[in-house]
């Protein structure tokens, strides 16, 4: 295969790259921005898709963000590719902020003071029952709606302006290149 590794990367190497990029976070962020700019769709569709991905990334249900983002983008008529890229808003640096803010917002919406729920994670989170996790998941799920909506609206406007500027610049560059090509013939 043309772009395949000679030696397959083990699961430990794959996990390391998922948590910390090979080059840097800045390079990975620039790559995501570059991919968003190159999507061939209207700025509205791209921004709507990215906003759907950003909304999905705020929810506490890890592992479902890509599916949730694609479904939301399809429902609102946004770009599914942009939605998948929008889930990069959720990463190891932003998850603690999202989880804390959604938990606090959910408790506020439920009319409760933030209660301390002792949870023993010594056996692992996957061995816990839903009854043990529900006191935390309930406020986080409810709180993720307004927090996610705010993140989605903010990312919609930022991405739309960015894509409009990029597409306008590309059109101007192509028009200039075409006029120069016609002038030299």
If phi over 0 gives left and psi between -120 and 50 gives alpha, with beta otherwise, what is residue 63? left
Higher-confidence position of 7 and 142: 142
> What distances in angstroms separate CA 37 from CA 31, 84, 87, one per listed residue?
10, 14, 16
| List of residues 6+ apart from 35 with CB closer than 8 A | 81, 85
Contact predicate 21/131, CB 8 Å: no
pTM comes to 0.72
Asked, for residue 126, whether it belongs to a domain, the answer is: yes
Percent of residues, the chain, with pLDDT higher than 70: 85
pLDDT tens figures, 73-123:
999 999 998 999 899 898 888 888 998 899 889 988 888 765 555 656 566
- What does the pLDDT read at residue 120? 60
Domain that holds residue 78: 11-184
Task: Indicate the number of domains in the chain.
Answer: 1
pLDDT tens figures, 31-53:
777 776 677 788 999 999 999 99
**What is d(CA 44, CA 78) in angstroms, rounded to the nearest whole number?**
8
Asked, for residue 86, whether it belongs to a domain, the answer is: yes
């Amino acid at each position: 295969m043309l772009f395949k590794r000679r030696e397959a990367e083990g699961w430990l190497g794959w996990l390391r790259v998922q948590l910390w990029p090979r080059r840097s976070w800045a390079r990975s962020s620039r790559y995501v921005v570059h991919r968003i700019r190159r999507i061939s769709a209207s700025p509205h569709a791209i921004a709507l898709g990215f906003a759907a991905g950003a909304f999905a990334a705020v929810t506490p249900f890890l592992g479902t963000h890509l599916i949730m983002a694609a479904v939301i983008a399809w429902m609102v008529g946004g770009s599914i590719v942009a939605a998948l890229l929008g889930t990069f808003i959720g990463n190891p640096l932003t998850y603690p902020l999202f989880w804390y803010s959604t938990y606090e917002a959910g408790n506020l919406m439920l009319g409760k003071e933030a209660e301390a729920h002792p949870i023993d994670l010594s056996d692992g989170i996957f061995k816990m029952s839903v009854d043990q996790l529900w006191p935390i998941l309930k406020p986080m799920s409810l709180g993720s709606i307004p927090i996610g909506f705010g993140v989605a609206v903010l990312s919609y406007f930022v991405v739309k302006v960015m894509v409009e500027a990029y597409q306008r610049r590309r059109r101007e560059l192509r028009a200039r290149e075409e006029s120069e090509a016609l002038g030299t013939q």
